[in-house]
A and B are shown apart, each in its own frame.
Chain A
Amino acid sequence: MTIELLSANHAAAMAATLAGRANRGARGFGGGVYPITPQTECIEFLCKQEFEKGRIVRVESEHSAMAVCMGFALGGARSFTASSSNGLAYMTENVFAAAMYRLPIVMMAVNRTLGPPWNIWVDHGDTLALRDSGWLQFYCEDNQEVLDTILLAYRLAEDRRVHLPVMVCQDAFVLSHTMMQTDVPSQALVDQFLPPLDLPHRLRDTPVTVGGLDFPHETEVHRIQHEQAMRRVPAVYGEVAREFESVFGRKPAAPIVPYRADDAELLLISMGTTASTVRAAVDRARERGVRVGSVRLRMFRPFPSRELELALMHAQRIAILDRDISLGQGGILWTEARGAAPREALVQNYVLGLGGGDIRPEHILGIIDDLGRRVHAESPEIMEVAT
């Protein structure tokens, strides 16, 4: 392994390259790519790589980028693409299709605010709008995690108990353009971790029709199977994470990452880089004697309800921090996570950092104060943190 100074965009492309090369003994590697700020450096990096058996197709749109990936995957190749924001919105039809075809495609998504009006900075609304697409979703906190999660994602996606695409999400600029020391594994280790892909339903010579006409009962069965595959993910994740540790010598983060949560009366739940700021604020509040902790949700699909229930079991007051909003409802994480809270707990939603507004420890300390003082929960608090 070598330590390199990489942005999350380059870390993602590095992981995809290693994973792609690891399939050279099988059907190879391919992807369709299209630029969008702040993802572009990822595909630029990928286009500079040499592949013994691989092809990067420079397409005319995100919609086609995913379609090309579907073609490679249906041919049995390992495939990758990356996008962001309105690019993901434009790709959406094929995002759903990739999952319905049960293809093990991995996509890196940089979280960026949807426009118009145009804004290139981070919020999670773009990928959360795709939460019902049938993909697995992970939200990363640093660049090492982006690289590691992409490698893990291939193992998960290609596992015969899963066969679903995986979206690996990271925050615009905060990670995408920030260089961090990143441990890059050797090709030999990646080869060891990622066995050659042998997709049972890839096209061969037999006359099959992939994605033909379903009537209601066939659709019921297909959805049940899709859901069952989702439900198998947590167990498969555990296995794959253990193997990751034995090959690479470091333990990947669990679907849920608690921090100083054991004796906490107040708990803050968040995703992505918001969670790092939350941890800093938790430390400062602890110094003042507040029994506060935090939980980072790393896996959003399948939603780790059981693990979250266990993590929240003893909390009396829970703040759910959303960097997204489902307009007319509130934070998306809040709507999904509040069901895991103990019945008697006070659960308050705070929406902050929309459009890339800089979330600082002071904002989180304000939330901790507010949460401690509250008599009862109210409708979601929509904060303005940008100055």
Chain B
Amino acid sequence: MTHEPLLGGLSCTPKKRGDSILRPGGTNCGGCGMGIAFHMLERAVGERPIQMVIPACCAIVTPGQYPRSAYGVPVVAATFASAAAVASGLAGTAHMNNESTRVVCWAGDGGTFDIGMATLSAAAERDEDILYVCYDNEIYGNTGGQRSSATPIGAVTTTTPRGKTLRKKDIVEILAAHRVPYVASVSLAHPEDALRKMRMAIDMHGFRFLHVLSPCPTGWKSEPAEGIELVRLAVRSGLFPIYEVFDGTRTDINVEPDFAFDALQRYFALQNRFRSDACDLAALAEAIREDWARLRRRALEETTC
């Protein structure tokens, strides 16, 4: 069986009108936040032509096995650290040919916070015309749950069996420091705000970055049905601040948390990945308050100056 052309492991299934970005047949775990994020992106994209670059992560296992693919748009399955660089070439070609194609990187926290960081930082510095979405499940998901630099303090993973003792990287701040046109955190529990951001980001030019906290029942050891509730708790407690930064200068806070301590407690209690002895919640609440003080100072300074 060697019929041509089967070049480059190219999978192609016919597109039907109204197909979504991620069509039926995906292999995500039940309750995976990535699927919800895809549906939001789908709405934001509408009829615009898009091409996606997906490095190694759960999202590249999702479409299934060659020669079929559950993706309803053209996708490049890139090497782990290369998404933003492959996307630079694709966007460059579209640009040279006056095409309106929007190029979207869709990557997990491993490909964004860790192995792809240099590539991502360089593409941001070059202000490539790319929308980069990181769906952050805070763990190496498809290798079975190892810590990444996005794993939060207190989380037990297969490589932090006693719970992680370090806090996660602040990816939004890192990207904002590149002074790119748009950086925002996205809450799946606040669909209006999420959709507004995705709609705006897909049409903007230059480098745009969205950070989506993506519930992962498999890695978080949580109930599949409780994903959205968990994100809501993370936002309410201030643990996951929802804001956007324009050009690295103007900071807008989009959702006001109530900083309820019981929201933080509940966020930790609903996930079996957290070891109570590995994380001092009172200390964490204090750290959250400090982060917020800094965030508010910046949001205020930039609007008044």
Contacts and interface: CB of A to CB of B under 8 A. Distances in A.
A60 B119 contact: yes
Contacts of B60: 212-213
Size class of the A contact interface (CB-based, 8 Å): 35 or more
Interface stretch (B12-20, B232-240, B294-302): B12-20
A211 B85 contact: no
B74 A207 contact: yes
B122 A59 contact: yes
B7 A27 contact: no
Nearest to A211: B77
A228 B2 contact: yes
A72 interface: yes
Contacts of B19: 207
B47 to A, nearest CB: 11
Interface string A212-254: 1111001001101100100000000000000000000000000
Interface in A289-321: none
A53 interface: yes
B74 A27 contact: no
Interface string A60-83: 110110011111111111010000
Interface stretch (B87-95, B170-178, B208-216): B87-95
B79 interface: yes
A100 B8 contact: yes
Secondary structure class of chain A's binding surface, majority of residues:
mixed
Interface string B65-91: 111010111111111011001111111
B119 A57 contact: no
Nearest to A222: B9
A27 B96 contact: yes
B8 A30 contact: no
B87 A163 contact: no
Interface string A330-343: 00000000000000
B269 interface: no
B121 interface: yes
A59 to B, nearest CB: 6
B76 A207 contact: no
Interface of A: 27-28, 30, 32, 53-55, 57-61, 63-64, 67-77, 79, 93-94, 97, 100-103, 163, 200-201, 203-215, 218, 221-222, 224-225, 228
Interface of B: 1-2, 4-13, 15, 19, 49, 51, 53, 60-61, 63-67, 69, 71-79, 81-82, 85-97, 118-119, 121-122, 126
Given A68-B88, A209-B75, 7 more contacts: A53-B97, A55-B95, A57-B89, A102-B8, A208-B75, A212-B9, A222-B6
12 contacts: A30-B89, A32-B88, A64-B119, A67-B78, A75-B92, A203-B74, A206-B74, A207-B12, A207-B74, A208-B74, A210-B8, A214-B9
